[in-house]
Amino acid sequence: MTITTVNLSSQISHPERTYFERALKRLEQDVLRMGTLVEESFRLSHQSLFENQLENIAKITVLEKQIDQFYRQIEQECSTFLTLQAPVAQDLRLLSAIMQLVRDLERIGDYAQDLAEIAMKLVSYPPHNCMEEIAAMSRHAQHMLATSLIALTELDPFAGPKVKQLDDTVDTAYERLYKVLAYQRDIKGVVEPILLLALVIRHLERMADHATNIAQRVSYIVTGYRG
């Protein structure tokens, strides 16, 4: 994702608060940088799972540390603004939304690392016949994350409903795949790969939920209404 300037603070612009606005702009850029890292981690975890690129696991571990660092830093800066800068109502809306938004990003990063670790265990088993459908589910969830982050750069007030509609596709895939895995009969050998794949689709479903949350928080930042 290309980083562009996000002018969230333009909504609360006051000449006497130039320093505060500059600090907010730096905060906004950090959120986007964190989002870019999470996107990359998700992409690498997909490659680990569906293309057997297990060397990505080390890269994801490094990314996860950077994501966690951004998360702690952004959360601390938001807390500082809330306690020291006497923010007005629109400031409070922006800062509270950012704090929740980066939590969603951090959780997606955690799930990406979990998926990579599952890939290490799955590689020793023959591919399940539903792997392609799970891969499609993963690609769709990645598209949702990308859409949510683009919405953040563009301050799209319609982002929440737009991504929520995309989430319906992931929910439908999850329900179908869960039934396929849960009611599979005549399993030859151990059941571990079935259990692991059930965990994979659950993680992907939750990652899509967090991407939806991000888009809804963008809508809230712009409109003041929770979708």
> How far is the C-alpha of 97 from the C-alpha of 216, rounded, in Å?
10
CA-based torsion, 17, 22, 25, 27: positive or negative: negative
Residue 5 reports pLDDT greater than 50: no
Domain ranges of the chain: 18-223
Q: What is the CATH number of domain 18-223?
A: 1.20.58.220
Write down the residue that tokens 């969230």 correspond to.
Answer: 8
Residue 197 reports pLDDT greater than 80: yes
Q: What is the mean pLDDT of the chain?
A: 89
Question: 28: how many CB neighbours lie within 10 A of its CB?
Answer: 20
Residue 43 reports pLDDT greater than 70: yes
Residue-level pLDDT at 227: 60
> How far is the C-alpha of 222 from the C-alpha of 29, rounded, in Å?
17
Give which of 202, 178, 50, 70 is closest to 116, Cα–Cα.
50
Residue-level pLDDT at 150: 95
Per residue in 50-93, pLDDT (tens digit) is: 999 999 999 999 999 999 999 999 999 998 887 776 666 677 88
Task: Taking residues 157-186, report their average pLDDT.
Answer: 93
The amino acid sitting at 138 is: S
Task: Taking residues 121-139, report their average pLDDT.
Answer: 95
Range name among 8-12, 14-18, 78-82, 89-93 with the lowest pLDDT average: 8-12
Give which of 96, 83, 123, 67 is closest to 8, Cα–Cα.
96
pTM summary value: 0.89
Question: 133: how many CB neighbours lie within 10 A of its CB?
Answer: 15
